[in-house]
Structure 1
């Protein structure tokens, strides 16, 4: 099974997406749903996908579970829930009773938008993470270089849990890279309970001036750090459309992974996602 482990659905006419208000994001400020994604998956040889939260909303998570229930190609949902809520456990249990609830595989929060770089280490957040892991769900890190120390400490605090790093912590590709990012990625990868999504890289480069060759050093670094068993492909569609088409993004990442060896490419396009999220089938 070939899996796109990171894609989104949204409709700005029905809900607010504060992060989408920047003028340069106007091209993707419209509705994107399963009917838009289906032909892209078919054209690019993708069998299934995992839909990932876009806003801090339990209602969105419920909608994604309903969508997954009605859409066989959506095999997992990484939703949102309030980690600081003392009743988080009850909320997660309720989500699992809904149609599509069995497809809830993880939880995510936009940590890089929090003012506090150590937000993950707050007592109430750590308590919430414990509730997530008690239900055998994964947690997706949405962080940049600034928040990586807190992510490292969190991964060490829950050695039996499963974490997935989104977008390789968004390396500053357009700015020419960062030694700090490289060093912290290596430190996080030393925690063997963390997988890394090679997603969203093109949109961290200059949108109108990138190619696979320019992405490759960053992908090679995370591959060297995480190894072939902990790299996961994700398109980050439709955010990726800011930099290129679904096919262009997939082809560039596939070319980079193939340069690292056939087993690296094969595992990143399915096997590793199934392990990280404990997907059935």
Structure 2
């Protein structure tokens, strides 16, 4: 079973999706399950986890509606305001929906390097375990220090780092990122998505060889049992096709055992998110 652990749906809005700049204009349109399903059929993908791209409860409801209506959308990583004093109400409401698997905040856009360690945010994170919710960590490398402190504080909370923490591949940034990723990987409650790499490289000139050191570091640090494949569709389309993204991972792990390959390409996501 192949599960894409990270993709998005949206009805394009210049306001809500202002992060889609001129360089990325190819994705300035709607992307819905009807667009993704034929891509999955072509590439032999069985299902996916839909991840929030907008920080509203309406976004969470939007993704859950698609999961209810499309069997291949196996789970949703939504958004609630974890800083809210009333966060329990939202968590309790969404815990009743079997498709809601976890939450994410777009921490990479927060100016505070230590946003993850703010008391109100930590209070929200502390609530997730009781509702059986995982947490997706979306950060840039300069936020890895705060991430390390976060995962230390909650050893029983399941975390996954999105897009290998977005190292600045285009600029050749590696050493600082690699050192921090190794430290974080020592905490066994943290997993990592092998995703989002081609858009951190040069859109037009990236090569698999350029990305190899980053993927190798993640595989060695987290092990095959805590890595999972993700496409970051449709964002990936600014730098390559879905097939290119999938092949990047399958070619990279081709030397592993069939059991390890199956884990990375789907079974780890099934286990981590509790997909059925």
Pairwise TM-score range, normalised by the shorter structure: over 0.9
Number of aligned residues: 276
SS of 2:191's equivalent? strand
**Which residue is equivalent to 2:131?**
135
**Which residue is equivalent to 1:193?**
189
Task: Give the drift of 1:277.
Answer: 1.2
**Which residue is equivalent to 1:252?**
248
Using the size of structure 1 for normalisation, the TM-score is 0.95
Alignment partner of 1:275 is 2:275: no
String of CA shifts for 1:184-206, please: whole Å, max 9, x gaps.
01011011100000000111111
Unmatched tracts of structure 1, length 5 or more: none
Preserved CA contact (<8 Å) 1:62 1:95: no
Where do residues 1-281 of structure 1 align in structure 2 (5 Å cutoff)? 1-13=1-13, 16-20=16-20, 22-97=21-96, 101-280=97-276
- Tell me the distance in 2 between the aligned counterparts of 1:124 and 1:181: 27
- Tell me the distance in 1 between the aligned counterparts of 2:231 and 2:242: 7
Preserved CA contact (<8 Å) 2:128 2:157: no
- Tell me the distance in 2 between the aligned counterparts of 1:27 and 1:209: 17
- Change beyond 3 A, Cα 1:92–1:53: same
String of CA shifts for 1:80-110, please: whole Å, max 9, x gaps.
110101111111222244xxx2110110001
- Tell me the distance in 1 between the aligned counterparts of 2:235 and 2:251: 20
- Tell me the distance in 2 between the aligned counterparts of 1:187 and 1:226: 10
Greater Cα offset, 171-180 or 216-225: 171-180
Moved over 4 A (4+): none
Preserved CA contact (<8 Å) 2:113 2:142: yes
RMSD of the alignment, in Å? Answer: 1.3
Task: Give the drift of 1:162.
Answer: 0.1
- Tell me the distance in 2 between the aligned counterparts of 1:75 and 1:50: 6
SS of 2:29's equivalent? coil
Task: Give the drift of 1:257.
Answer: 1.7
Task: Give the drift of 1:14.
Answer: 8.8
- Tell me the distance in 2 between the aligned counterparts of 1:17 and 1:278: 29
Preserved CA contact (<8 Å) 2:6 2:232: yes
- Tell me the distance in 2 between the aligned counterparts of 1:41 and 1:24: 26
- Tell me the distance in 2 between the aligned counterparts of 1:29 and 1:62: 22
Greater Cα offset, 75-84 or 174-183: 174-183
- Tell me the distance in 2 between the aligned counterparts of 1:128 and 1:145: 23
SS of 2:19's equivalent? helix
Unmatched tracts of structure 2, length 5 or more: none
Using the size of structure 2 for normalisation, the TM-score is 0.97
- Tell me the distance in 2 between the aligned counterparts of 1:277 and 1:110: 19
Task: Give the drift of 1:261.
Answer: 4.5
